[in-house]
Amino acid sequence: MTERAEVGVGLLGLGVVGGRVFDELRRNAESFAHRAGRQLSLRAVAVRNPERRRELVGGCAALLTDPLEVCTRDDVDVVIELIGGESPAADCIAAALRAGKSVVTANKEVMAKHGPRLLELARDHGVGLRYEASVGGGIPIIGVLQRELRANEVRCVRAIINGTTNYMISEMSQRGASYQEALAQAQQLGYAEADPTNDVEGIDAAYKLAILASLAFHTRIEPQQVHREGIRSLSARDFQHAANLGYTIRMLATARRTERGIDLRVHPTLIPAHDPMARIDGVLNAVAVEGDLLGTVVLEGPGAGAGATASAVLADLLDVVGAASSAAPRAQSPAERTPQLLPLAEVCLPTYLRLAVPDRAGVLAELGRAFAAEGVSIASVLQVPQPEAANSELPAAELIITTHAGPDGAMDRVLSALADSDSVLEVGVRLRIEGDQNLETVGAR
């Protein structure tokens, strides 16, 4: 970044978040200049449809359609990337870094897939790459892992990092909404896209967990290495059953270091009602980090929305400008390229099952034999009224079964056996259970 009195800023994208960043840069120009030590001047904005934004931008910046042009302009020192998605965002960030410009981004997909390469590119060209807004919205978890917790050996990261699914889960839990009702409400309020796949299937959360795990464990985690399951199979009655057992359900992202590798998972999880994560409702996000020196620290706050994301983006902007004025760019910890991962089949956790079974004598004994054959110990069995008929002419019953901690692979084999048995009409849902009582068993046989 140049040492001229003014810092030229280029903005890629003028959507909900980009529009808020644009407004704040104009409204708080004097205050930001005081905090950064240099005047911030918005020089160029790239948008897909300039005619829709021409009145908003006015004459305060060049309005362009090619984001790569913004990234290579001589009068731009810092590029803020808010166009989202992998392409062309990744190419734009790389082009800006090669041109000697620092970059601030909120793009979790790009940082999850290309982060190490782009960070190395930033180091090679002596510029900064900040991405606090890529995970957790306004929660400053990236900076905490990079700075405040650097002296700790991180043992575990547990997170609720998708506001859409957390809102839907809250609706199902608190108001008894069905999955479809909760989704429709989330879409109406603007929390869910028309195509909600990335959120409800855990893809978005897997990107974010890959970023957090890479930082926490000083390694390189690819998004595809994160096991993920979505929330489509959940029913409002699962939340009631969980409550009766002393739990609640949350879409939990977990990265845990074990003696035999890193355990990486995103899926709906039963957690104890007293767990701090159980109280994270609506579109809030939370991240709990356990370190060897500090113990456990929990950060929570708005995980999405224009204000929360713009807050993180602008803080990164001030940080990168201040770093260029006073010191070398913030160093990144070296990453181990090939982390040892713990296969999901070897992760040991209790399980919650909701089954539809024929209402006849001998069913429980037959189920018990299937569990015993794989060494899975049943902790509890509860028969509840069947709310809807299963695909059978026989009278049906609904069973809620919980197990003691056991290898996930053994549970897979139990479910495979149950699917082939005439003692089970339907496996409604299978959820894993997390809690203080089983943390030490993770990764053990």
Q: Is residue 283 part of a domain?
A: yes
Task: Read off the pLDDT of residues 353-371 as tens digits, 9 standing for 90 and up.
Answer: 999 999 888 899 999 999 9
Range(s) of the domain holding residue 417: 345-441
Question: CB–CB of 211/113 below 8 Å?
Answer: no
State how many domains the chain has: 3
150 shares its domain with 297:
yes
Q: Can you give the pLDDT at residue 21?
A: 96
Tell me how far apart the alpha carbons of residues 249 and 172 are, in angstroms, rounded to a whole number.
10
In a domain, 401, yes or no: yes
The pTM of this model reads 0.91
Which residue among 101, 108, 113, 208 is the active-site one?
208
- Which CATH number characterizes residue 317's domain? 3.40.50.720
User: How much is the CA Rg of the chain, to the nearest whole Å?
Assistant: 24
In a domain, 331, yes or no: no
Average pLDDT rounded to a whole number, residues 85-95: 97
Does 152 lie in the same domain as 104?
no
Q: What percent of the chain has pLDDT over 70?
A: 92
Q: Which of 325, 314, 313, 330 is nearest to 1 (CA)?
A: 325
User: Could you identify the residue written with the tokens 């390469």?
Assistant: 117
The predicted pLDDT at position 348 comes to 96
Q: What is the pLDDT of residues 325-359, one digit of tens each?
A: 544 445 455 456 678 999 999 999 999 999 999 98
Mean pLDDT along residues 183-202: 94
Domain of 247: which CATH number? 3.30.360.10
pLDDT band at 444 (very low <50, low <70, confident <90, very high): very low
Residue 443 has pLDDT above 50, yes or no: no
Task: With beta carbons less than 8 A apart as the criterion, state whether 135 and 129 touch.
Answer: no
pLDDT digits (tens, 9 = 90+) for 165-188: 999 999 999 999 999 999 999 999
Task: State how far the alpha carbon of 46 is from the alpha carbons of 79, 110, 403, in Å.
Answer: 11, 18, 55
Q: What is the mean pLDDT of the chain?
A: 90
Does one domain contain both 155 and 283?
yes
Alpha helix locations (H) across 1-40? Answer: 16-27, 29-36
Band of residue 387 on the pLDDT scale cut at 50, 70, 90: low
Say if 339 falls within a structural domain.
Answer: no
Q: Measured between alpha carbons, how far is residue 24 from residues 40, 52, 312, 364 in Å?
A: 11, 20, 12, 63
Mean per-residue pLDDT for 191-217?
96
64 and 94 inside one domain: yes
pLDDT in tens, 64-80: 999 999 999 999 999 99
| Catalytic residue list contains 101 | no
Same-domain pairing of 123 and 171: no
Residues of the chain with pLDDT > 90, as a percent, come to 76
Q: How would residue 56 be classed by pLDDT, with cut points 50, 70 and 90?
A: confident
Strands 351-358 and 396-403, sheet pairing: antiparallel
Give domain status of residue 162, yes or no.
Answer: yes
The residues that bridge with 427 in the sheet, in sequence order, are 355
Read off the tokens for 22. Answer: 């644009």
| CATH number, position 405 | 3.30.70.260
Q: What is the largest CA-CA distance in the chain?
A: 83
- For residue 407, whether the previous peptide bond is cis, meaning omega lies within 30 degrees of 0, is no
Q: Bigger pLDDT: 9 or 423? A: 9
| DSSP secondary structure of 208-264 | HHHHHHHHHHTB---GGGSEE--STT--HHHHHHHHHTTEEEEEEEEEEEETTEEEE
Which amino acid type is present at position 81? E
Mean pLDDT across 1-27:
88
